[in-house]
Amino acid sequence: MKQAILLLCIVAAVLPHTALAQLAQPVERPDPPADAPGPPGDPPTPPAETPARPDETPTEPADIPAEPARSPARSTEASDEGARGSTRVRRRTRPRRAEPPLQLDRLEPRWRLRAGLMVGAHFADFGGNERQTLLADAPESSLETQEHVTVGGFLALSFRDRWDLKLEVLFATKGAHAVDNLVLPNPDAPDSGCSSNPPDEGCTILVPYELDHILRYIEVPILLQYNLEYDGVIVPHIFVGPTLAFLLDTELKGDGQIVQGSGMQTGTVALSGDIDDVSRSIQIAVVAGAGVEFPLPYGSLVLNIRYEQAIRRAMNGQFDVSATVNGEPMLPTDTVPVRSESLRNRGFSLMAAFVF
């Protein structure tokens, strides 16, 4: 009985303290959901973070390793490096300015070799005095221009953007067209009573004639060409250089008409001769000119004009010309002496070339 009374006293003494402790503890209410509206008039409050307990350690996902702790200095350097890296990335991703299209001539190599074919007309005559005495005993003589065709090809080496070195090989015909009055003694004239100055009509034979001096060469001009700056389609140029000419063959031919004579039937006189012995085998000349180049879908077209003046004499000396009438010798001697006086080739050329 005493033991029961003692147990009741102990329970009575402990029970009030336990009830007071439960009342002193705060009542934990559940957190409202994030999308739940708050009371009217109050701003929404962010959800409170649950503080971590001291005995709990944060756990990382298994596939992402935890980063080691960094000091403040190192973290500052890393942030600076990250800022620089982001700046570099932004600079690299900036759009570039649109560059102008490249010109075709800039794509061409600095050294360029080209080839082409040439054809043109050459207007040739002999240099020196405008009037030359070609035939002995001819009171008047003059030289006129001959027209010939020139053909060939060339190689052009382009360098330093505007300069070309050209080597041409041409087949060219040169010479002159002589117009003279041939005055010859009349073999049928009486021995006496003839005056030589002026010649009597019955004592001389007057033969106006035309005589062609033809000299065929292989020419090798070596030209230095400068291409002028021009913004248009055509490209003008100038050139100059020496040329060597190698003689292949010669020809002398012409005809005349007897207009005065005594005891001789008037008719046509055929003239011919050999001028190989008085013609030099090698000629040296200077060439200068200008032209323009036009682009084509395939290659280009070049037009130029040039002037050539020989330095060495083409003909010098005396040679014979035969004169016949209807196939018969005009004179008993069958030949007429002809005198050339230091004749030099010269002339203009109009050339057209196709460049591959």
Q: What pLDDT is attached to residue 107?
A: 41
Each residue's pLDDT tens digit, 177-230: 888 777 776 666 666 556 555 555 567 777 788 889 899 999 999 999 999 977
Q: Which residue has the tokens 């600079």?
A: 91
Mean pLDDT of 242-246: 97
Q: What pLDDT is attached to residue 281?
A: 93
pLDDT tops 80 at residue 40:
no
Q: Which of 19-23, 195-199, 233-237 has the lowest mean pLDDT?
A: 19-23
The highest-confidence range among 23-37, 173-187, 208-222, 318-332, by mean pLDDT, is 208-222
Q: Which has the closest alpha carbon to 291: 222, 347, 228?
A: 228
Each residue's pLDDT tens digit, 245-254: 999 999 988 8
* Rounded-to-integer distance, Cα 19 and Cα 147, Å: 142
Terminal C-alpha separation, the chain: 139
Q: Which of 27-36, 291-300, 325-334, 338-347 has the lowest mean pLDDT?
A: 27-36
Mean pLDDT of 25-38: 54
Q: What pLDDT is attached to residue 105?
A: 46
> Sorting pLDDT into bands at 50, 70 and 90, what band is 122?
very high
Sign for the CA dihedral angle at 129, 131, 135, 139 comes to negative
Q: Which CATH architecture has domain 111-355?
A: Beta Barrel (2.40)
> Sorting pLDDT into bands at 50, 70 and 90, what band is 33?
low
Give the start-to-end residue ranges of the domains of the chain: 111-355
How many residues does the structure list for the chain? 356
Contact between 259 and 206 (Cβ < 8 Å): yes
pLDDT tops 70 at residue 153:
yes
Burial class of residue 314, CB neighbours in 10 A (0-12, 13-18, 19+): buried
Q: Which of 137-151, 193-207, 227-241, 308-322 has the lowest mean pLDDT?
A: 193-207
- The structure tokens listed for 42 are 């109050």
DSSP state of 192: S
Q: What pLDDT is attached to residue 278?
A: 84
Q: Which has the closest alpha carbon to 331: 253, 277, 258, 278?
A: 258
